[in-house]
A and B are shown apart, each in its own frame.
Chain A
Amino acid sequence: MKPDIKIFLEDLRSNTKKSNLTGKDARLIVEEFLKIKPEAELDFEFKKNLKANIVLCFGVKNNSKIISTFSIINNIIMNKIRVLVPISVVVLAIASVATFSYFKNPSTRLAGGETIIEVSSNAFGSLSSAENISGGAPLGMGEGSMASDSYGISSQAPLAMESSRSATAVALESVSKKQSSIAGFGGGSAVSNDMDKMIYEPVFYDYSYSGDLALEDEYVGVLKRVFIPTNSSGVGNILKQVDLKVADLRAFSSAQIDNINLREDTDLGYFININIKEGSVSIYENWSKWKYPYQTCYGDEKCVNSSQLTINEMISDDEILRIADEFLKNYGIDKSSYYEPKIMNEWRVWYDQAVSSGSAPYVPESVQVMYPLMVEGEPVYDQGGSPYGMSVNVSIRHKKVSGVWNLRVNTYQKSSYGAVKDKEDILNAIKSYGNYYYNNDSSGSAVVLELSEPEKIMAVFYNYNQETMESQELLVPALKFTVLNPPQEGYYYQKEIIIPLAKELLDQRLGPIRPMLEKAQEAPAQSSSSAAESSSASRGAYPEGADIKIIEE
């Protein structure tokens, strides 16, 4: 007899005077009931993650800076927006339930203020992979004007993160698209012999800083953005009750909701995307309700050209800011975590160049207003030196906000990492900054650029986790140097130099690098094979990073 059965039966005998059960019966029943006890196996990952979230919630709850912005969604949904979801009212109701369920828990509210929870040292593992995935790998390419097609006209950017990529990355992208076959990026062999003709002569920038640097800290606080996941599968179970008669949704036992999309079915209405997994909200145009020439002209080029905006139709910067601010105010979007907004007016450079060269100037349909993120009192920049934060697009034609990106929960964990202590390391990083992938021995010309006194900032890095195949957003203390004498010819975009102050990151940047041209020259040998082979070969030949990303695009 098992000991627990014995206990139960003793228990029964001592506590029941008038039982009609015989000893045998009781034993049989208890034994049988114990035999059918289901095996409840507690998943280790679940246990670990839930504990982490609860401890995180404690940090969130006890932080006075938390500002509930449930009102953001509430306002978006309730404030004059009639959400007419096409399937049925049922789906809308479910979406509302899901939204409510998502936000009713304080741990899942979108927070306007920042929340920082301190964790142990080196808690985010190695930072050495962080730079690889970052969008703004430093490159010193001179012909910045090639980026003119892409940068400064941000109207259709799918994500703020994308739209705020540094000019460097975008310029590199443009170059790469034009030269993909030369570099062996999967374009095949046909053009490989024309490499010398097509590669732009590089300009090498010799960055110089002669001032003092105060590097007194032993450690720097690296922040990792975290989001407390909600019980999205609970919501998923409710959704599974919706029977569209096309499949048995209940058969998907572990389905969770990652995204909720709402559509405002009115003229100049919006799509609202709530990303439950990431803890962010995006607002963008309901394309069918915003009329642009490319839609109304039905492919008639003359019509499109004649309908393009002219410079006279461009509204003033003050008016753009007013429209953006008013939208944020009307929809209860909290600005307390952001610096004063900045209008991204790079389009004017391309416009002026087009006018001076006699080509047709282009006035963008929308202009981006950037609200730079502020964390721990420091401004946040991407690695290209562009402000990083919430972006608001203002439609010039409609004089209305056409999108808001990167509106999100600002909750971070903070962990100490070793700081850069040696001034020489910083100076070496500055010196190599412009020539990160390039060969100094090539025939390009060199330009000396003086740098200003640095400003302490937080820089965004993305650390890729091989196991989960997800990237973590890290904010790393860094120095921002401004170029005092930027070249006047063409469009020089690298006006800021960002040097991380986490030693591990800087060491990686200072590590041995194979010059890009050297590697590019190896690639054509492989380019006679198929495009796919060429692509995979280049993956092997090149370090992971911005250039790899371009191949995939």
Chain B
Amino acid sequence: MSSEIFLYYIFGLLCFCFVKIPNWFGTLKINYAKINFDIVIKYFCVNMDDYEKKAIARCQKGDGEAFGEIYDSYIKKIYDFVYYKTMHKQTAEDLTSDIFMKAFEKIKSFNPQKGTFSSWIYKISRNTVIDHYRTFKKEDSIHDIWDLSSKEDLLCDVDDKISVEKISKYLSGLDADLRDMAVMRLWQGLSHAEIAQILGKTESAVKMSYSRILSKMKKEILLVLLLIFGKSPDILF
């Protein structure tokens, strides 16, 4: 098992060499290398996916070590996601604990035919964060809850309070799905396919939503920048 991981690392190193080394020789070789690189990456991803599936299967049979491996792959992503939605270290740690405990309890019900593990655990994460805010607020619609909209609920420990205010301002015009989409796509680099699975939408719908997110953020962002620089952002470029 560990030798398999080692091989993946070797693949990664080779990929790096394919891209970087040809860079020293010119454009043609870069293009040639890029093609090879894509192939290798594709092969690598397929194998990683396969490796993850095997680990999940072992995990479903009660292998705690296998869950440990899955945990290692996802802990940072999930913690980051929760942190971006709570901006509070302790709360993010508590919720991350809950998420992985839930995942561990329900791992046997996970069906790889219905989606990836990534989308499954992200769904758990979204719901756990929503449940967390539900304990504080009693809105009729959960979509009205914006994690950062209410200052009284904000146990924020981000040092840069201006950034938090900006985040709150920029995202407040978006509905819950679009907010998560912005966080997952722009801050976490998730693919459209992954986001689509997590949100239960089609990939094309997610792609279309992407421009809507930016359009909706445009007004707030440009306004803030105007206040900061005292002139139209267009002049900045």
Contact = CB atoms under 8 A, between A and B. Distances in A.
Interface in B112-147: 135-136
A40 B92 contact: yes
A233 B89 contact: no
Interface in B134-172: 135-136, 155, 157-158, 160, 163-164, 166-167, 170
Contact of B167 (A28, A29, A36, A254): A36
Interface in A92-113: 105-107
A62 B135 CA distance: 32
A62 B75 contact: no
Given A33-B182, A55-B65, A55-B68, A40 B211 contact: no
B186 A47 contact: no
B100 A8 contact: no
Interface residues of B, number: 63
Interface stretch (B3-11, B29-37, B76-84): B76-84
A59 B67 CA distance: 12
Interface in B14-31: none
A25 interface: yes
A250 B218 contact: no
B210 A16 contact: yes
Contacts of A34: 186-187
A8 B91 CA distance: 30
Interface string A515-529: 000000000000000
A41 B84 CA distance: 11
A58 B104 CA distance: 8
Contacts of A8: 185-186
A253 B214 contact: no
Interface range on chain A (Cβ under 8 Å from partner): 35 or more
Contact of A233 (B76, B94, B189): B94
Contacts, number: 150
A40 B84 CA distance: 8
A54 B225 contact: no
A454 interface: no
Given A4-B189, A21-B215, A253 B62 contact: no
Interface string A3-22: 01000100110011001110
Interface in B195-237: 207-208, 210-211, 214-215, 217-218, 221-222, 224-225, 233-234, 236-237
Given A33-B186, A54-B71, A237 B91 contact: yes
Contacts of A46: 93
Nearest to A18: B211
Contacts of B79: 40, 42, 47
Contacts of A483: none
A238 interface: yes
Contacts of A253: 88, 90, 155, 157
A418 interface: no
A179 B69 CA distance: 58
A12 B68 contact: no
B221 A57 contact: no
A310 to B, nearest CB: 56
B101 interface: yes
A30 interface: yes
A217 B28 CA distance: 68
A264 to B, nearest CB: 28
A25 B218 CA distance: 7
A36 B163 contact: yes
Nearest to A23: B237
Given A4-B189, A21-B214, A107 B62 contact: no
Given A21-B215, A46-B93, A54-B67, 14 more contacts: A8-B185, A11-B192, A16-B207, A27-B237, A30-B186, A38-B84, A51-B75, A55-B68, A105-B101, A106-B105, A231-B97, A231-B98, A237-B94, A238-B135
Q: What 6 A-B pairs are tightest by C-beta distance, nearest first?
A: A58-B64, A16-B211, A40-B83, A15-B207, A40-B80, A55-B64
24 contacts: A11-B192, A15-B211, A16-B208, A20-B215, A24-B233, A25-B214, A28-B221, A28-B225, A32-B221, A33-B182, A33-B186, A33-B221, A34-B186, A38-B84, A38-B163, A42-B76, A43-B89, A50-B96, A51-B68, A51-B75, A57-B64, A62-B64, A234-B94, A238-B135
